[in-house]
Each structure stands twice: as structure tokens, then as C-alpha cells.
Amino acid sequence: MALLAQYVVGGLAVGSLYALVALGIVLLYRTSRVLNFAHGDLATFGTFLAFAMLTAARWPFSVSATLSLLLTAVLGAAFFFFIIRPAKESSLLGKIVITLGLALVLQGATTALWGTDTKIFPFPLSETKVYRLSGIVISQLSVGSFAVGLVLMAGLYGLVQHTRLGLAMRAVSQDTVAAQVLGIPVKRIFALTWGLASALGAASGILLAPVTLLDPYMMLDPFLKGFAAAVLGGIDSMPGAAVGGLVLGVVESVFAGYISVRFKTTLSFLIIIAVLVIRPEGLLGQEYKRRV
């Protein structure tokens, strides 16, 4: 039981970061019905911005992280204003291709600016300092990442459910035309949503960088896991994305501990297939019904 508890605790720490990635994906899909395949590359670029501020400018971690989140949010909002909005008449597939194009541009920019060598990300919490509780060993970094992940998830939920901005975001996601008629600045809400989702991705990248190390493709695997978590919880459900990320982290950790580490990534895709076959709307998603 102690070993199982160890795997569950470790899975929750990683799952909270998957949940942040999934929340960014779901947030954009709920509002604009766009699956942003550049989400991971935006997160990577934001993480490298924080790395540059920490190492080249030698700014404090809190300042570097905050500024990188803001700059990543501005980049995401600018992408909506200058690329997605002019292409609003494009099909869903066309918009997905546009986001894939952005992903390639960001990969190229990251490689050109910082190279392809793996880098160590300076982080105030230690992976080697550990805490012991009833036979469970957990690192200081895991505790901090889990705590920050929960705070960000709770903050996003509070923003969406209990503020005027969140009410406007929910109105736009339900009916764009009606929201515009009621005087809601729809374009600004879209831009804010893109910016917020991009900042969430950058936050997950900063928290993952000390563990995975820093390179231009560091967010590829976490993005796929975040997408799997979003499908598992419900692609239109924010609570579902959070639950999906935590569940996926735990299942993945237990699977790696008892069965095989090599097929841990494959498990995410098997979960996507199983969910789409058995419950297409996800664990907490609502079944979509269309009147004809």
C-alpha cells in the first residue's frame, strides 16, 4: 500500500501540470471552437523567455516568471488578432492548419534564438530535497509544482465562475452573436481567452522545465498528455480538464510503476481511443445534441 500511495502522490504532482495544459486547450475550445496545436510551442517559447531573463538578465525568479507569463499572453492574444481573426471564415481544419503553422514558426524561432542544446532551468525549489510522510517520499519540487498547479486551477475557476469577465467569457462561448448584441466586446474576450490560455501553458512549461530539462521540443509530450486529459475529462468542460489531468497523471504513474515505463506515453493514446469509443463527451462533458 505504501508503494501504491507513493505512485499516486507522484502522479498527482505530474497530473496537476497536465491539467494546466488541458485547461488551456479547453478554454480556447469552449470560447472559439479552435484546437490550438501551437499551445505546447507557445508554452516552450514562454519558458525560454523566463530562462533568458533568469540567466542573461539575472532577474529574480518571481520577476522573470511573471514577465514571461505576461509576454506569452500578449503573444497568444496577438496571434488571435492578427492571424485567427482575419481567417474567421476558414473551416475548422483550416484554423487547425494555421495553428500548426504557428507551432513551426515558434519552433524555428526558439531554435534560432537559443539553439537545440539541452539546458538546465534555474528553479528555486529542489528535486533532491525530499519530505517523508508515513513512508511516502516526495520532493520539494513536486510539492511546489502541485501546490502552484492547484492555485492556478482554483484561480482560473474563480475567474470564470465568479467575475464579470468570466461571465462574459461564458456568454461568448454559448452564443457569440447574442453576446455581441448584448454589448459584450467579443473580440476582446477572444483575445483575452487566447492570452490566458497561453499564459497557463507557459506556467506549466516553467514548472516542468526543472524536471524535463529545457529544449525546443520539451512540451511535445506534455501537450499530448494535456490533450488526452482534455478528451478524458470532456473537451468542453473545465472541471473535466482538471480531473482528467489528475486522473491521467495517477494512472500513468501506477502503470509505469507496476507494468512498464516504456509504454507510459502509449497509455495516453489508448485512453483517448477508449474514451471516444465508450463516452465521447468525456467524464464530465455534456452530450451534444443537435436539432434537425
Say which CATH number the domain at 238 has: 1.10.3470
Query: Above 70 in pLDDT, residue 292?
Result: no
List, as one string, the DSSP characters of 65-114.
HHHHHHHHHHHHHHHIIIIITTTTTS-HHHHHHHHHHHHHHHHHHHHHHH
Q: pLDDT (tens digit, 9 = 90+) per residue, 94-137?
A: 888 999 999 999 999 999 999 999 999 999 988 888 888 777 88
The answer to whether residue 101 sits within a structural domain is yes
How many domains, in total, are found in the chain? 1
Band (290; pLDDT cuts 50, 70, 90) = very low
Could you tell me which of 263, 284, 226, 240 has the C-alpha nearest to residue 36? 226
The answer to whether residue 180 sits within a structural domain is no
Q: pLDDT (tens digit, 9 = 90+) per residue, 32-78?
A: 888 899 999 999 999 999 999 999 989 999 999 999 999 999 999 99
The answer to whether residue 285 sits within a structural domain is no
The answer to whether residue 169 sits within a structural domain is no
> Which segment of 62-71, 216-225, 273-282 scores lowest on mean pLDDT?
273-282
Give residues with Cβ within 8 angstroms of 58, minimum separation 6: none
The answer to whether residue 78 sits within a structural domain is yes
Band (289; pLDDT cuts 50, 70, 90) = low
Query: Grid coordinates representing 182?
Result: 448584448
Asked if residue 8 lies in contact with residue 247, where contact means CB atoms within 8 angstroms, the answer is no
Asked if residue 224 lies in contact with residue 22, where contact means CB atoms within 8 angstroms, the answer is no
Q: Which domain holds residue 148?
A: 2-158+187-278
The answer to whether residue 245 sits within a structural domain is yes
Band (287; pLDDT cuts 50, 70, 90) = low
The stretch 216-236 carries a mean pLDDT of 90
The answer to whether residue 288 sits within a structural domain is no
Q: DSSP secondary-structure letter at 217?
A: T
Q: pLDDT (tens digit, 9 = 90+) per residue, 230-277?
A: 988 888 888 899 999 999 999 989 888 888 777 777 887 788 788 878
The stretch 13-28 carries a mean pLDDT of 92
Angle, vertex CA 92, rays to CA 282 and CA 287, nearest 5: 25
Question: Residue 265 corresponds to which amino acid?
Answer: T
- Across the chain, what does the average pLDDT equal? 88
